[in-house]
Amino acid sequence: MTGKAETVNGFCSTLIVQIAFYLHIQMHVYGRPAVFSKSVIFATAFMSFFSVVIALFKDIPDIVGDKIFGIRSFTVRLGQQRVFWICISLLEMAYLVALSVGVTSSCIWSKWITVIGHIVLASLLWNHANSIDLKNKNAITSFYMFMWKPFYAEYLIIPLVR
């Protein structure tokens, strides 16, 4: 798949999984009507967005192979460094949105957990990104694997968003 197809696939599959899981639990487990609350919309949008970034990032270490096989991924077209920083910028913007969701929470404990949790994750991402040698494929691959940690950490924060 090219970068574009992978990105669309990642977004759609994440979006569908999030919504389908929510609908199933609400309607068939709890027996309640599905109401799309702020936290459900946030979780779906945030995780879908994060998945798109991961799909974009996945091509960064594969630039040599993509060039050899004529795959015109975003990384081939724009360059490793540019795509890397686009991905980091997109995630940092997502964390800013998450902070605003946390700040607007009427539940004080949710506000604190959401804000502090996302500040920590955004800071870890930013600090780690600034230490990467983009000429080193192992470093880029290691960073790609690191990106899954804040992705899964988000699943600990999401249930606390109100």
Range(s) of the domain holding residue 80: 3-160
Tens of pLDDT, residue by residue over 43-85, are 889 998 898 899 899 889 989 999 999 999 999 999 999 999 9
Query: Is residue 11 very low, low, confident or very high in pLDDT (cuts 50, 70, 90)?
Result: low
Domain total in the chain: 1
pTM, to two decimals:
0.85
**What residues have CB less than 8 Å from 144, skipping those under 6 apart?**
54, 57, 58, 60, 61
CA 1 to chain centre: 20
Q: What is the pLDDT, as a whole number, of residue 19? A: 87
CB distance 32 to 26 below 8 Å: yes
